[in-house]
Amino acid sequence: MNRDAVDLFCGCGGLSLGLAAAGFDVVAGVDAWKPAIDVYRLNNPGHKSIQFDLSDEARTASLVRSHNPFLVAGGPPCQDFSSAGDRIEGLRADLTVKFARVIAKTKPPAFLMENVPRASLSEAYKTATRIFRKAGYGITARVVDAAFCGVPQTRKRLFMIGMLGENDGFLEHDLSKKVIEGKPRTIRQHFGKSLPFEHYYRHPRTYGSRAIFSVDEPSATIRGVNRPLPSTYRKHHLDSTDPGPEVRALTHIERALIQTFPESYIWPPESQMKKAVMEQMIGNAVPVRLAATVAGALYEYAESKETPGADDPPIEEALSLGNFFAIAAE
């Protein structure tokens, strides 16, 4: 059975890793941003890593057709929808519509699109939904918090999953089974006893916001900006401790691990890539375990349609990505 997948807007590879962990065979990753595709290529030598402008619909559709995938996945850039941005729809929002048109032109059996929750309020998202439905796709759309998917981070993302010939909401039951019920995962649970710190600094979006967090809670959303604790910082009433020399920003490796990239993932040294560029691509990535949770529900649904009663794919085994990924004892 064809379970090939093409990852458009692949960035440095978080979504692709999640797709692979869920059982899909990723055959190509595509992105316009050279630094991200360089990192992607470094870590994914087994399939094509392609750099080109995904606003070129005809070329993108041709590439998708050449691979004849079961699944086309992607997270069109979300800055135009983000609460951190100016909230004006522009060229990036247009990529959401172009992604939908590529799906409608190529008709893969399934697609998966990821974005920030507020994207659902945009005209681009509404237009894309109409395009998908007109092309014959049943749609399941749901906001999922990564902290309930084995990721030690509060990160809510909107997923739209479509399959040809299905009814809307077709994946709700399977997806609900995958999302862990109970308390969200904390940093301490994720890293275990290897943590060298108890509190850390995360640069706030606005002045007057909390900036110091404890490892006994999920990380705040990993963003593209990562700055050191300013010497002028004054404690916020919600900070987990007082600012001091023991409080520091997370390293890019720690941030990548919180995004549930494996320890073995290769990140170029700062002599080869600017730190700000590295931080941005890590912050932009889809957490691996979040992607695996959503993609795993789709994989199992597709398997059940073709082979009723088939065993579940070994997602947990596939997600055993080193000591940092072991489930800590409660």
End-to-end CA distance of the chain: 39
> Could you tell me if 113 and 158 are in contact, meaning their C-beta atoms sit under 8 angstroms apart?
no
Neighbours of 238 (CB within 10 A): 10
CA 237 → CA 91, 149, 213, 221, 248, distances in Å? Answer: 39, 30, 12, 20, 18
Q: Please list, residue by residue across 4-13, b when 16 or more beta carbons sit within 10 angstroms of its beta carbon and e when fewer do.
A: bbbbbbbbbb
Helix crossing, 288-306 with 14-22: angle to 10°? 40
Structure-token match 């904390």, residue found: 186
Q: Classify 92 as helix, strand or coil.
A: helix
Tokens representing 115?
């974005």
Q: How big, in percent rounded to 5, are the helix, strand and coil portions of the chain?
A: 40, 15, 45
Neighbours of 60 (CB within 10 A): 24
Catalytic: 78? yes
d(CA 274, CA 276): 5
Edge-first strand order for the sheet with 199-201 is: 212-214, 199-201, 248-249
Look at the chain and count its residues: 330
Phi-psi region of 22 (alpha: psi -120 to 50; beta: other; left: phi over 0): alpha
CA within 13 Å, CB half, 191 = 23
Q: Which of 10, 12, 78, 149 is catalytic?
A: 78
Tokens representing 255?
């941030």
Q: Which amino acid is at 23?
A: G
Catalytic residues: 78
